[in-house]
């Protein structure tokens, strides 16, 4: 069995790779996802200034209670869900 290039990285390289991937994800969702944009803004996190993985502790934690409250306040799906990826006839998700 051969390993992928990512599986061959040493610990430091893997951490840098994971930090880059997380920053790319945050950059993609910031401004597109109301729920997470608000959370990042409230925590004072500027995605463009993050140095990951070192700044990981600065990222706000999302709780199940927050997702439930958001879904209740913005029925049926809440602001955390990207509605473009859901089926039109689907039921609201339950957390």
pLDDT in tens, 38-87: 999 999 999 999 999 999 999 999 999 999 999 999 988 899 886 554 44
Q: Which distant-in-sequence residues (6+ apart) come within 8 Å of 62 by Cβ?
A: 36, 39, 80
Q: Is the pLDDT of residue 92 over 70?
A: no
Question: What is the structure's pLDDT at 75?
Answer: 87
Question: What is the structure's pLDDT at 54?
Answer: 95
Question: What is the structure's pLDDT at 95?
Answer: 54
Question: How far is 85 from 4, CA to CA, in rounded Å?
Answer: 30
3-state secondary structure of 46: coil
Q: Which helix (H) or strand (E) holds 16?
A: helix 11-29
Question: How far is 18 from 26, CA to CA, in rounded Å?
Answer: 12
């Amino acid at each position: 069995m051969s390993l992928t290039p990512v599986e061959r990285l040493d610990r430091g390289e893997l951490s840098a790779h994971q930090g880059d991937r997380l920053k790319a994800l945050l950059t993609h969702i910031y401004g597109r996802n109301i729920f997470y944009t608000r959370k990042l803004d409230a925590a004072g996190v500027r995605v463009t200034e993050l140095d990951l993985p070192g700044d990981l502790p600065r990222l706000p934690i999302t709780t199940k209670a927050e997702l439930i409250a958001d879904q209740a306040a913005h029925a049926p799906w809440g602001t955390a869900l990207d509605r473009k990826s859901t089926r039109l006839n689907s039921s609201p998700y339950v957390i």
